Chain A
Amino acid sequence: MATAHSRAAARLTMSPAVVLLLGWMLIPLAMTLYFSFLRYNLLMPGTEEFIGTLNYQYFLTDPAFFAALGNTLALVGGVLVLTIAGGIGLALLLDQPFWGRGIVRLLVIAPFFVMPTVSALVWKNMLMNPVNGLFAAIAKGLGLQPFDFLAEAPLSSIILIVTWQWLPFATLILLTALQSLDRERLEAAEMDGAGALDRFVHIILPHLARAMTVVTLIQTIFLLSVFAEILVTTNGGPGTATTNITYLVYAQSLLQFDVGGGSAGGIVAVILANIVAVFLMRMIGRNLDI
Chain B
Amino acid sequence: MARAATNRRMLVVTLLAWTIGIVIFFPILWTALTSFKTEAEAVATPPTFLAFDWTLENYTEVQQRSDYFLHFWNSVVISVGSTLLGLLVAVPAAWSMAFVPGKRTRDVLMWMLSTKMLPPVGVLIPIYLLFRDFGLLDSRIGLVIVLTLINLPIIVWMLFTYFREIPGEILEAARMDGAGLRDEILFVLLPMAVPGIASTLLLNIILAWNEAFWTLNLSASQSAPLTAFIASYSSPEGLFYAKLSAASTMAVAPILVLGWFSQKQLVRGLTFGAVK
A-to-B contact residues, CB < 8 Å: 1-2, 6-7, 9-11, 13-14, 16-18, 20-21, 24-25, 27-29, 31-32, 35, 90, 93-94, 96-101, 103-127, 132, 134, 137, 140-141, 164, 167-169, 172-173, 176-177, 180, 210-211, 214, 218, 221, 224-225, 227-228, 231-232, 245-246, 249-250, 253-254, 259, 262-263, 265-267, 269-270, 273-274, 276-277, 280-281, 285, 287-288, 290
> A-B pairs with the 9 shortest C-beta distances?
A13-B92, A28-B123, A10-B96, A31-B126, A228-B212, A17-B93, A113-B259, A10-B100, A107-B21
Asked if B60 CB lies within 8 Å of chain A CBs, one says no
Range of interface residues on B (Cβ < 8 Å): 35 or more
Shortest Cβ distance from A219 into chain B, in angstroms? Answer: 10
Partner pick for B25 among A1, A7, A107, CB 8 A cutoff: A107
* Seed contacts A214-B275, A249-B121, A281-B110; 5 additional CB < 8 Å A-B pairs: A13-B96, A210-B274, A227-B121, A273-B117, A285-B110
CB pair A24–B115 under 8 Å, yes or no, is: yes
B residues near A93, Cβ cutoff 8 Å: 13, 16-17, 20
Give the docked Cα–Cα distance between A277 and B30 (Å).
38
Give the docked Cα–Cα distance between A28 and B127 (Å).
6
CB pair B10–A97 under 8 Å, yes or no, is: yes
Asked if B188 CB lies within 8 Å of chain A CBs, one says no
Interface string of B8-49 (1 = CB under 8 A from A): 001001101110111011011011001000000001011100
B residues near A113, Cβ cutoff 8 Å: 206, 210, 252, 255-256, 258-260
A residues near B30, Cβ cutoff 8 Å: 122, 126-127, 134
A residues near B13, Cβ cutoff 8 Å: 93, 96-98
CB pair A218–B115 under 8 Å, yes or no, is: no
Whose C-beta in chain B lies nearest to the C-beta of A265?
B121
Q: How many A-B residue pairs have CB under 8 A?
A: 305
Interface string of B241-269 (1 = CB under 8 A from A): 10011001001100110111001001100
Partner pick for B89 among A16, A98, A114, A172, CB 8 A cutoff: A16
